[in-house]
Structure 1
């Protein structure tokens, strides 16, 4: 099911493509894992361009990404016919921070909306095609798709079904927009967990292939989407006094009205934690203690002063003593970074370098569906 010609594509696709294209500007594809959404997206892009229309594609499949790397929602503008969606270069992206929407519904929904808006702002294309994740089953899947469609307000929704499993959504959206129901083609082959993991591994390798080490001073950065950066950091002198009183090294400390954070090499006892809480005025708040190793291997996004995601990175070291963070990233040298967004995905590091294969073949996390 590859190639830019009609041959090999399901007849139903060929029959419906023109009507889908003519039915509206924003086209959203919804279906389960291995339902043919991504292949259909590439086929639709070519048909749109054959019709003399400009096009944008939002790749919202954070687990089996095509345009950008995994864990992001990416935007691309095809300039010529494509054999597959991955032929489209990434123009911009929004960091979801994980390879599954499970426990990350909000960034997946918000990111898709922001990339659609950015497509309109940048090039105002005639058609925008949104390829979504395969998570459609159960309460989580339905919640994700229902709210994503509500926020996007598409003109066209294409549902890919095997046994009418999406009829509840289809019945709603045939009253709000133009809805199409396509059968999952017999040509579509299911991928194993290992195959899906290998696909991610290859995407990671390609993305980080030209990466270099970037050292960024902590004082010039804001941190978001993680436990770090939620409070006001203690000055070095205050940390040293705290360390002296405890008899244990406090590498980092910050506090807010809601919580405090300690980064310590040696874990504190309950009594020591209670004493620190009293010192920081956190008697009614939570106090979290972390090892400095907690941050190693975390996937992050590097954000400009204007809030634009410039590149992904992998934390190699967070040096609290030197007050700097070392990140492996393809970010061009000299680019100014103002914010670091923490993801929940972590790579094993071997001699400071990410072991993509080991990360790719990890079994799903507890509670995380395999349908990424």
Structure 2
């Protein structure tokens, strides 16, 4: 299956050439943020501009922050690539650095999205003349707030806005002086949800095709993004009480402040009346195939892995990952995915 949503072409609307001239005139290093709805040609624009800027002798960096429709593998991350030669699509680029988000949608992950783009932008401006920032198509509702937070954090020198009518006005209000509005190309193609999922499936599969099992000792890594190891272990008495009250087998339990968090398996099926302000729980069947970021000491993501098992008694975590470098931190995401690329759903932020 072709996983390239955007490929290089010089058959572009005339305003792209005007945008190119504007970028060439900016003081360097310059940060360019591309904003637009889904399927408006944001990535195609980034590929076009990068190649043209290179032909003008400039060093170019691309930040791919479209976590769901990533060109630069893997999905679920924000990625930085340095471009020094002609390329036809984002899939051709090798990542220089990643920041882990752990989901294929920005919802519930605004902090990671803003910090990731900001952190990678700082790196990119030290290495390139022009930094092109490709964003998600989330432009309505809370997406307005996310885009404005990104603009505040990154402080782009130019915003290229691919909009229909006035749909981007809530995002761009107050930023008119640094905004250039571009028309949506007639060649921009709409992709169905099923097509997007199929494209992601192939990208996941490609990323994990050479993955191997790695076992991490909890004593040797920091584990974040989850309540699994916060607080202190529950006592045998607390475990027994919970099992009797709710007809569970409690596999793992922690007391975090005055609240409880447990991993359980049902002994008897049926509804339970549980006050989630006192007790949170995760079914053991959901504690597998969770995307996990492998993080270095600087907070950058070396790559991702798929959770295959946790041995709570021995303090070990088993991941399937292509990453071979030393790891300082394991950061839990919320999407569940198999190595063949099949997505198994997204957990709520508070579920884990």
- TM-score bracket relative to the smaller structure: 0.7 to 0.9
User: For the residues of structure 2 that align with 1:77 and 1:302, how far apart are their CA atoms?
Assistant: 21
1:126 to 125, 129, 140: 129
In the other structure, the counterpart of 2:138 is 135
In the other structure, the counterpart of 1:356 is 341
In the other structure, the counterpart of 2:111 is 106
Gaps of 5+ in 2: none
In the other structure, the counterpart of 1:296 is 288
User: For the residues of structure 1 that align with 2:7 and 2:343, how far apart are their CA atoms?
Assistant: 32
Whether the 8 Å contact between 2:204 and 2:340 is mirrored in structure 1 is no
In the other structure, the counterpart of 2:26 is 23
C-alpha deviation, 1:294, in angstroms: 2.6
1:63 lines up with 2:68 in the alignment: yes
1:337 lines up with 2:327 in the alignment: yes
User: For the residues of structure 1 that align with 2:121 and 2:282, how far apart are their CA atoms?
Assistant: 38
Whether the 8 Å contact between 1:68 and 1:93 is mirrored in structure 2 is no
User: For the residues of structure 2 that align with 1:306 and 1:23, how far apart are their CA atoms?
Assistant: 31
C-alpha deviation, 1:20, in angstroms: 2.9
C-alpha deviation, 1:242, in angstroms: 5.7
C-alpha deviation, 1:38, in angstroms: 0.3
CA separation of 1:228/1:29 partners in 2, compared to 1, >3 Å: closer, same or farther?
A: same
C-alpha deviation, 1:71, in angstroms: 1.0
CA separation of 1:358/1:223 partners in 2, compared to 1, >3 Å: closer, same or farther?
A: closer
C-alpha deviation, 1:164, in angstroms: 2.5
User: For the residues of structure 1 that align with 2:307 and 2:7, how far apart are their CA atoms?
Assistant: 39
- Deviation readout 1:101-126 (Å, 9 max, x if unpaired): 122222111111111112234x2x11
Q: How does 1:1-372 map to 2 (within 5 A)?
A: 4=8, 6=10, 8-24=11-27, 25-121=30-126, 123=127, 125-137=128-140, 139-175=141-177, 178-233=178-233, 250-266=250-266, 286-332=278-324, 335-347=325-337, 354-357=339-342, 359=344
Q: Secondary structure at the match of 2:121?
A: helix
Whether the 8 Å contact between 1:257 and 1:285 is mirrored in structure 2 is no
User: For the residues of structure 2 that align with 1:87 and 1:309, how far apart are their CA atoms?
Assistant: 20
User: For the residues of structure 1 that align with 2:208 and 2:99, how far apart are their CA atoms?
Assistant: 17
CA separation of 1:157/1:300 partners in 2, compared to 1, >3 Å: closer, same or farther?
A: same
Q: Secondary structure at the match of 2:219?
A: helix
Q: Secondary structure at the match of 2:87?
A: coil
Gaps of 5+ in 1: 275-283, 367-372
CA separation of 1:221/1:3 partners in 2, compared to 1, >3 Å: closer, same or farther?
A: closer
In the other structure, the counterpart of 1:277 is none
Q: How many residues align?
A: 336
CA separation of 1:322/1:160 partners in 2, compared to 1, >3 Å: closer, same or farther?
A: same
TM-score by length of 1: 0.81
CA separation of 1:2/1:97 partners in 2, compared to 1, >3 Å: closer, same or farther?
A: closer
User: For the residues of structure 2 that align with 1:339 and 1:3, how far apart are their CA atoms?
Assistant: 35
User: For the residues of structure 2 that align with 1:130 and 1:258, how far apart are their CA atoms?
Assistant: 43
C-alpha deviation, 1:191, in angstroms: 0.9
C-alpha deviation, 1:167, in angstroms: 2.6
C-alpha deviation, 1:157, in angstroms: 0.5
Q: What root-mean-square deviation, in Å, do the aligned CA atoms of Structure 1 and Structure 2 show?
A: 3.0
Q: Secondary structure at the match of 1:77?
A: strand
